[in-house]
Amino acid sequence: MDEDDVGTVDVPEATVARLPQYLRALSVLAEAGLQTVSSEALAEAVGVGSAKLRKDLSHLGSYGTRGVGYDVAELHRQIADHLGQTTPWNVVIVGIGNLGHALAGYGGFASRGFRVVGLFDDGAHVVGEVVGGVRVRPLAELPDVVCPGETIGVLAVPGEHAQTVCDRLVAAGVRSVLNFAPTVLRVPAGVDVRKVDLASELQILAFHAQRRASRVPSLARVAEPVTERVGEVV
């Protein structure tokens, strides 16, 4: 596949969601000095079935070599291309409360091609503070920092303010939004939104935990002793 074709291939959303996991596993393999990896080994490292992995990679035009597997460096480059990680992406974070502070101070963004270039908040007690080496600006300065079409916006604001702030991000030229607010955003065509709902994820885990618990017999019943009656033939 030519590099010019990257981004024009129709890749299923479920596959896109797994690509970062494949990329992370390939990075670990490369650091360990491995040059090739079988589909079975890579699938096991990620925690998916090998058939699903092969289908995912086929969407990228990568089929590996029979009896050899995949070239680690080449597959890493190919997935990185599709994820847009061959060039840095600018990121702005709006809402510098507890969550915003944590995101701004996270050191893993830079290693994955994301550069935090702006922090924004309208709280007088926050504006001017330096977090992760970046000064917090008032929201009115958002257009001064956003490079239209090349900046990802991160929303870490309360739900009641999320739509208004999202509108301002879009007006400034942001076309990709990561939303941590507990609300559904309305955006125009051409704007992508990814929602991160931590409470929902916990509820899903609680659902599975409850189902497991309902299948486990009561310890009292398991430990209940069996007594023999006197004179009873057993």
Question: What is the tens place of the pLDDT at every residue in 24-58?
Answer: 999 999 999 999 999 999 999 999 999 999 999 99
- pLDDT tens-place string over residues 123-158: 999 999 999 999 999 999 999 999 988 899 999 999
CB contact at 8 A, 161 and 145: no
CATH superfamily of 89-198: NAD(P)-binding Rossmann-like Domain (3.40.50.720)
| d(C-alpha 170, C-alpha 175), whole Å | 6
| d(C-alpha 214, C-alpha 194), whole Å | 34
97 has binding-site annotation: yes
Cβ count near 178 (within 10 Å): 17
pLDDT at 5 > cutoff 50? no
Whole-number pLDDT of residue 78: 92
152 has binding-site annotation: no
179 has binding-site annotation: no
118 has binding-site annotation: no
DSSP state of 117: E
Instruction: Name the percent of the chain lying above pLDDT 90.
Output: 68
Helix (H) or strand (E) holding 143: helix 142-145
Residue 107 CB-half CA count within 13 A: 0
* Residues 20-26, mean pLDDT to the nearest whole number: 93
Contacts 24+ apart (CB under 8 A), 41-48: 41/69, 42/69, 42/70, 46/18, 46/21, 46/22, 47/21, 48/18, 48/21
CATH topology of domain 13-82: Arc Repressor Mutant, subunit A (1.10.10)
- pTM, full prediction: 0.76
**In the chain, where the domains are located:** 13-82, 89-198
Identical fold between 13-82 and 89-198: no
Whole-number pLDDT of residue 224: 55
pLDDT at 66 > cutoff 90? no
CB contact at 8 A, 183 and 164: no
Helix (H) or strand (E) holding 213: helix 198-215
**Orientation of helix 50-58 relative to helix 13-31, angle to 10°:** 100
